[in-house]
Chain A
Amino acid sequence: MSNHDHQTEPPSEVELKVKALESLLVEKGLVDPAALDELIDRYENRVGPRNGAQVVARAWVDPKFKAWLNEDATAAIASLGFTGRQGEHMKVVENTPHIHNLVVCTLCSCYPWPVLGLPPVWYKSAPYRARAVMDPRTVLEEFGTKLGADVEIKVWDSTSEMRYLVLPEQPPRTEGWSAEELEPLVTRNSMIGVEKALTPDNT
């Protein structure tokens, strides 16, 4: 069963029901419609994976910052202004030539909002949640990511309020690049662990 179609083509009945619920709650004074717009704008336009890309690029160029990330990711990330809801307790997991990290939430959709924004549909989907902990290599292949047999995969199932951010490997041929030059190579998917960071040839 693929539920992908349901994700993109919901019955219009839902639309009507949601509208009715919003009207009720506004009329009863339980929600402020301006706050709804503000919440949507924040997570649609202001908080997203470019935040995480700043964290990663900084870690690549600044060994002290990287050490701080390993020591206390919540504080190190907060120093860049990324704090709060769904990122109260952060842990950064670092990819190396021999270890590849992958993040999932099998029970719901836990995801580090302050650095990545809201999760994509596939991250919340049943097939990803079911398979990431049972067959991660095939899952990675579905994203076009092939790892050598000598690379160990570590899957992080986000069952608590700990939130995981993957620190991807710095791409080859980017030695000496500045953090600003590196940021565009850091994709959202590389910080979840389903892909590697982009290389200078494929940006």
Chain B
Amino acid sequence: MNGGHDLGGMHGLGPINPEPEQQEPVFHHEWERRVFALTLASGSLRQWNLDQSRHSRERQHPADYLRNSYYENWYQGLLKLLFEKGLISQSEQDSGKAVPMETHLTDNVLAASKVTDAMLKGGPVNMDIEPPPLFKRGDTVRVRNINPEGHTRLPRYARGRQGVVDIHHGAHVFPDSNAQGIREGQHLYGVQFTSSELWGSEARNDFQVCIDLWEPYLQEV
């Protein structure tokens, strides 16, 4: 989706103002800690996947996405998923009173004793698929000019641009389908673009941008 999250190349956002590395805390407020942990713990209920989680944060008015702080966007995304999956209701949110529900999900609840193992294990997304890769290192490819309304990991600034395949990463879960609950593998490539291809020949200094792109995003030149 062409949302407020797709920021590559946007102007007018001001300076970066990084906090000095030695002074920056991991969290700036207690509520950020809670949103972070609630998001991870709720994810272990397995009612949505990582791409659906990303998509839930993207599905906001672009002005809201940009105005919110990072963990406010996480909160908004989590709330949306909880409502959509029926895990909490609007009236519970309004009243603050939980309505007991029969659920098999309690089996999935992440126990404190399982946190370390679950985090060390993670969730690999590589897959074995039948079709061989269409492209190999050194091939010139053009990024398709597509504008899906759903979740995609194809940034707008790369669409229609020509690049060179730098690496084939194997097949990974395809986010565009995964966000719709369909887990399918597609070949993934690191594709290199020149700054002049992306931004025009007036770019101040030449540089390269490497973007990971799935095969359905690419076409032969």
Contacts and interface: CB of A to CB of B under 8 A. Distances in A.
B11 to A, nearest CB: 7
Interface in B21-48: 21, 24, 26-31, 33-38, 40-42, 45
B203 to A, nearest CB: 8
A135 B204 contact: yes
A85 to B, nearest CB: 4
A153 B208 contact: yes
A155 B207 CA distance: 8
Interface residues on B, range: 35 or more
B155 interface: yes
A156 interface: yes
A98 to B, nearest CB: 12
Contacts of A146: none
A161 B214 CA distance: 11
A184 B172 CA distance: 36
Interface residues of A, number: 86
B88 A19 contact: no
Contacts of A155: 207-210
Contacts of B36: 39-40, 43, 118
B109 interface: yes
Given A32-B109, A124-B70, A142 B18 contact: yes
B132 interface: no
Contact of A121 (B33, B70, B79): B70
B158 to A, nearest CB: 8
A89 B70 contact: no
A163 B33 CA distance: 23
B119 interface: yes
A71 B186 CA distance: 22
Interface in A24-41: 24-25, 27-32, 34-40
Contact of A159 (B105, B126, B153): B153
Contacts of A159: 153-155, 211-213
A173 to B, nearest CB: 22
Interface of A: 1-4, 6-8, 10, 14-15, 17-25, 27-32, 34-40, 42-44, 47-48, 83-89, 106-109, 117-118, 120-122, 124-131, 133-139, 142-143, 149, 152-162, 187-189, 194
Interface of B: 5-19, 21, 24, 26-31, 33-38, 40-42, 45, 54, 57, 66-70, 72, 75, 78-79, 82, 87-88, 92-93, 96, 98, 100-101, 103, 105-106, 109-112, 114-116, 118-126, 153-155, 157, 169, 172-173, 175, 188, 190, 198-199, 203-214
21 contacts: A4-B17, A18-B34, A21-B78, A28-B87, A29-B109, A30-B105, A32-B41, A32-B109, A35-B110, A36-B34, A40-B27, A40-B34, A83-B120, A84-B121, A107-B5, A120-B24, A121-B19, A122-B16, A130-B11, A157-B210, A162-B169
